[in-house]
Structure 1
Amino acid sequence: MFGKKAKAMTPSAARKSFVSPYDLPAPKGAEGWQDLYPYNLVFQDNLKDKENSKFWFCDSQHWPNVFKPFETVGVEFAVRCLGAYNTRHYIIPPANGIEFRIHNGFCYMSPVAVAPELIGDRVPHFMERAGYYFQNWNTLLENWKKKVLSTIEEMDAINFEALPDMVDIEVITSGAGIDPTAKMMADYDRLIQLAYKNWEHHFEFLNLGYVAYLDFFGFCKESFPGIPDLAIAKMVMGVDSVLFRPDDELKDLADLAVKHNLTAVFAKNLDAAGTLAELAGSADGKKWIAAWEKAQEPWFNYTSGNGFYGSDVYWRDNLDLPMGYIQDYVVRAAKGEQLHRPKDALIAERDRITGEYAELLDGEALETFNGKLGLARTVYPYVEDHNFYIEHWTMGVFWRKVRQLSRLLHSYGFWTEPDDMLYLTRDEVRPVLFDLATGWGVGADCIAPTYWPQEIERRRKIVDALMTARPEPAFNEPPAEINEPFTIMLWGITTEQVQQWLGADEGDPNQLKGMAASPGVVEGTARVIMGPEELDQLQQGEILVAPVTAPSWGPVFGKISATVTDIGGMMSHAAIVCREYGLPAVTGTGSASTKIKTGMKLRVDGSNGTVEIIG
């Protein structure tokens, strides 16, 4: 799927291969880390030759942090479902799924090729199956929302409670013949199943959204030789996506504060509780509080992370996060700044570029162009919409229930910290629940308090040690040419990028090359951000440099002047969000977050995909 293997290089040239995962040692103190994860997620010694024949890249775009054992649920569900819809549902001609492994705590991927001789046989199946969805997109998507919201509601209704000293008398008088431990174990299983169900729904539409864009992209490349990738992306920008709605709600609240002359309250920079207490003392303040409370459901089911980690903090669980963003917005709104995305300007630019290229076509070619563009624009919003419904809302409810169960078991003395269940795999939790049920049922001590605290401490030390090392960008020998469109479009992993990783490009150390992800040229001061917990360090006008951004970082985009990331392609969340916010962006640089230091002066050219350190 990637292409042919790279040819051997001379000793004086850059190395031709990345290290094998079998030859990469664990960080000191992390020895034995493989035991923390399911057997099928780690490289097995008896498969060494087979696994070393594949090229693996680190997906730090979606999973930038070391996994605690329970957190593998996200990558397991997401990548399995992605593959199934490519391979078994829609029979996408050139693309099967993606193999994935965890190594030293990080996620590595290797796309599975479709044999060239089989592609033709898959086309009619794909046309029938995908065609049905494209022809009935709006109706099916409306049904999709109902399914997803129903699953979220069912998951939210799950409640893990302490076991009673004796069952309620109604259990006796009704003849129920069952105790609450059965419900607890069933609810745990159902929690896992419901999360899995919404990940199935997640990919019901997502890959088709990418396919429609790739089809339009391919037509443009063939019809307009030399057309920049960015020009094609501009033709579908200016979308209305629910992913932007949480940030828009905060901006509306800031405008409302200025309208009601409440700026002095927000200027005090109190926490959420303090701000609300101040506002409650006036009629206009009470009106603002009512608007604030109305915005919370569902839009505060939003995390500053990406939803894949149990430690992600959601706005609804920490109201200081959205209140902090509002306080910043109020200052800017009071100065007369336009807070909302420049949607009208984006649409004008979109229509201008579309018109210029359409004028080059006529007849059947123009009709085809308009048809493919129309489909791409119809399906394109889902490429971002899913992120709110699944990664944010679904996973927010899921992690909240996981923490509730973990804290219940903590109250029984099963482990030392409230959220320590994250150090168990999901399959290890069910025996723990039966241990609780057994101790409760027979009136004896449970085994867990004598076993799990020390075992979790051992695992905690391993995870902490894994966090001390940055992941290798890739493993094994890369192909001579990377031409798989999903890999390029989503992750920004190109032939040139891989060669940079290997050290083939020993040019100007002050120059970085990446994807021209969002147009514009700016100069400014760099602020290197390694995770959402550091976002409060950003100052007005700085250039955000990060391994990867999350779409939920939208509220800080009003502060920054440009974005630079290590990983991400033209259709990565970072690229899409920056285009929609009108910010220059260069993605997929490979090493910006390590080569650039906070305080450096940068020149970012998002139209050409270059970053220059100028001071």
Structure 2
Amino acid sequence: MVGGGPMFISLNGYAYQRMDGPHFHEEREFRAEDNPGHSESLSSGFLSSAPGQERHDLALMVADLSEADRQAFGRFEAAQHDDDLARQVTTPESEDVATKAVYGWMAKTDVNDRLLDQWHAETRPRLLGVKEKWAQLEVDAAADEQLLAAIREMSYEEGLYWSSNSYLTFGTSKLTDEQLQRFLSETLPDHHFISGQLLSGIESKTMQGNADLFEIAKRVRAHDELSYLVLVTPAKFLMSTLREHPAAGKVVAGIEQYLATYGHQGYSFDFVEPTQTEDPSGLLATLKAMVGDKDYDPEHQRVKATAIREKKFKEISALLSDLEYWQFRHRLWMALRYAYLREEVAFLFGYSWSILRPMAFELGHRLVEAGTFVNAEDTFYLVTEELNQAIEARASGKALPRLGELAAQRRELREARRKHRPPTVVPPEARGNEQLARAMQSEILDNDDSSDTMRGFAVSSGLVTDRASVVLGPAEFDRMEPGSILVAPLTTPAWTQLFAHAAGLVTDTGSLLAHGSIVAREYGIPAVLGVGNGTERIAHGQLITIDGDAGTVVIHNINGASATASPSAGWPSG
């Protein structure tokens, strides 16, 4: 049955994308016809490729090859005598329905480049423009109605940024990565290669943020007194302490510049939570670790990631020949062409929150004084109609305490929902359909809680045994022990700095294309994502082994043997 309604919905407080809309059904029906002349859906002309696009894309790839590789391809092409060679190279055959669909979606440069052009020309400037517009408003002097208008427009624009174009532009990176992974899994199934092994070394704002923070750490390291101050001062008091120190002027200026560039990023995708600008304690905890670890340098990670990338490329190239080899080169070329977009698009998530949140709190404070709210953050828990009622009541000198009570009820419900582990695919029948689940790219694997081995998605190569730093949120960033394995519910760009001192990564939610996967391979650390309840089963300080190639996490007892139940938490003393 064809569904309807909005593409993105919320279910018990969690966001989902619907997969039952008419365009998805048209897509499936069209693909079922297996028309080799077109690979994109007829249901959307904007996402349809022009005839002959395969030849165009193949020519682009060849132009980007080294001279030696161009000559090698020329010899291969001359030996084929096949007018259909471009399609064969750019669109591998597959018997798997889900893989075949992945190969046909966002697999051509004309489609992807149109999306990218639209993002640069319309979607990104629109979001930046809305923030710039409301940044001019004097919050203290603004009327209640102005504050609400600003909150509404920025909230709407944040949603529109994703749902209008960014989820598709973002998808070009995810899908070309997935296409490479599917090809490796089908062509070389016994070797367990991961696309991420080949996609490191890509410049991004995420990695640049870490490099910028390291420059601040180097400035602190050069001053013994500042180094001591940073190391002994708790993160939540560090910024104010630095402001008072006469020698810390350039360090403070560096941190402020960092926050001006990256501070809009939240530790979660929930605008009720503070941004880094409001609460930099998580960032400062990482700065403390960088200052304390004199051997730390991002260059070491770059070298390690480069070595992995070059090694895996040679291994794969040695195993493939003729058509399969050039199919691999094309899939890799496409993935590299769009890989940067994932972090580029994600960098602007929550871009206006640093402007929106102070306005929401200002309105909230006014309504607390009016007797309607109990807490200033109640603003976040009411809808527009209810906020308009509160504003009108305040204007007439009245209070509506029932709205404050309603906000309290919704806050309590939100906190209860946060304790859930939501399924990545609903209903349950869909999760039981292997092909459908794969097509929907589930981000959690089911695990047996009685087993000492957890399964997850293998996303970054390597094998490591070490103690776990279980970090549930920014308030616990100072629990991250240098050289330990970071265990977290999930990660966002604001978590990236923790990776600088991690020996490995385990997350409850995530898969090959998640943020944690992208960053882990840049740092060259093993990572297994989507284990479901790792933060519950693994104790802080517990010894674990993660295999980033096999996708397993083994939980050990306090003596290093495997254990079927979590031992007492805590790092060993002495």
TM-score tier by shorter-chain length is 0.7 to 0.9
- 2: CA distance, partners of 1:572 / 1:540: 23
CA gap 1:467/1:216 in 2 versus in 1, 3 angstroms:
closer
| Partner Cα distance (1:471, 1:481) in 2 | 18
**C-alpha separation in 2, matches of 1:216 and 1:509:** 32
Q: 2:275 aligns with which of 304, 314, 322?
A: 314
Equivalent residue number for residue 210 of structure 2:
247
- 1:458 deviation in Å? 3.9
Deviations 1:276-328 (A, max 9, x none): 2354x24xx4333333333332122233x223241x22222234443332222
Number of aligned residue pairs: 480
Instruction: Call closer, same or farther: CA 1:251–1:184 in 2, change over 3 Å.
Output: closer
Q: CA deviation at 1:111?
A: 3.2
Q: Percent identity?
A: 20
| CA displacement at 1:519 relative to structure 2 | 1.5
TM-score, normalised on structure 1?
Answer: 0.69
**Distance in 2 between residues matched to 1:462 and 1:526, nearest whole Å:** 31
Aligned partner of 1:322: which letter? L
Provide the residue aligned with 1:29 in structure 2.
none
Matching residue within 380, 404, 409 for 2:367: 409
**How far apart, CA to CA, are the structure 2 residues paired with 1:227 and 1:458?**
53
2:238 counterpart residue number: 272
Q: Are 1:133 and 1:140, in contact at CA under 8 Å, matched by a contact in 2? A: no
Letter of the 1:394 counterpart:
S
Q: Given the alignment, which residue of 369, 377, 381 partners 2:340? A: 381
C-alpha change, 1:224 and 1:456, in structure 2 (3 Å) is closer
Question: For the residues of structure 1 that align with 2:120 and 2:203, how far apart are their CA atoms?
Answer: 16
Q: Work out which of the residue numbers 381, 405, 422 in structure 2 matches 1:454.
A: 405
- Please say if 1:483 is aligned against 2:446: no
User: Amino acid of the residue matched to residue 542 of structure 2?
Assistant: M
Distance in 1 separating the partners of 2:113 and 2:262:
30
| 1:111 paired residue number | 19
User: Which residue does 2:101 correspond to in 1?
Assistant: none
**Which secondary structure does the structure 1 equivalent of 2:454 belong to?**
strand
Partner of 1:213: 177
State the match for 2:479 in structure 1.
537
Q: 8 Å contact 1:242–1:388 — kept in the other structure?
A: yes
1:157 aligns with 2:136: yes
Which has the larger displacement, 514-523 or 125-134?
Answer: 125-134
Q: CA deviation at 1:229?
A: 4.9
In structure 1, what is the Cα distance between the partners aligned to 2:503 and 2:165? 36
**Residue type at the aligned position of 1:308:** D
Number of the residue aligned with 1:357: 316
Aligned to 2:166: 202
| Alignment check: 8 A CA contact 1:302 1:315 kept | yes
Provide the C-alpha distance between the structure 1 equivalents of 2:132 and 2:48, rounded to a whole number of angstroms.
34
Report deviation, 1:340. 5.1
CA distance in 2, matches of 1:465, 1:592: 20
Q: What's the offset of the Cα at 1:415? A: 0.3
SS at the partner of 1:603?
A: strand
Look up the match of 1:132: 110
CA distances 1:407-432 after superposition (whole Å, capped 9, x unpaired): 33333332011111122134533343
Q: Quote how far apart the aligned CAs of 1:387 are.
A: 1.8
- Aligned-partner Cα distance in 2 for 1:597–1:536: 16
Q: Deviations over 1:393-444 (max 9, x none)?
A: 33443334333332333333320111111221345333433x15xx53xxx3
Distance 1:358 1:182 in 2: 63
Tell me by how many angstroms 1:331 deviates: 1.4
How far 1:579 moved relative to its partner? 1.5
**Cα distance 1:339–1:445, how it changes in 2: closer, same or farther (>3 A)?**
same
**Match for residue 428 of structure 1 among 386, 397, 400:** 386
Distance of 2:417 and 2:156 partners within structure 1: 30
SS in 2 for 1:390: coil
Which of 296, 313, 318 is matched with 2:259 structurally?
Answer: 296
* Correspondent of 1:445 among 397, 401, 404: 397
Task: Note if contact 1:158-1:401 (Cα within 8 Å) is conserved in structure 2.
Answer: no
Partner SS, residue 580 of structure 1: helix
2:112 counterpart letter in structure 1:
F
What SS does the corresponding residue of 1:316 show, helix, strand or coil? coil
- Is residue 329 of structure 1 aligned with residue 290 of structure 2? yes
1:510 aligns with 2:466: no
CA deviation vs aligned residue, 1:506-531 (integer Å, no higher than 9, x gap): 8x621111111211112122333333
Alpha carbons of structure 1 residues 109 and 290: separation in structure 2 relative to 1, 3 Å: closer
CA contact (8 A) 1:159 1:401 kept: no
Q: Please give the secondary structure, in 2, of the residue aligned with 1:233.
A: helix
Per-residue displacement from partner, 1:535-561 (whole Å, max 9, x unpaired)? 222323332223323332222223332
Following the alignment from structure 1 to structure 2, what is the Cα–Cα distance between the partners of residues 381 and 278?
40
- The CA distance in 2 between the partners of 1:472 and 1:541, in whole Å, is 32
Which has the bigger relative contact order, CA under 8 A and spacing at least 6? 1
User: Runs of 5+ in structure 1 lacking a partner?
Assistant: 1-49, 55-78, 84-98, 164-179
The equivalent of 1:567 in structure 2 is 509
Q: How far off is 1:205 after superposition?
A: 1.0
Tell me how far apart the structure 2 counterparts of residues 590 and 469 of structure 1 sit (CA, whole Å): 11
1:569: how far off?
Answer: 1.0
Match of 2:443 in 1: 492
- Corresponding residue of 1:14: none
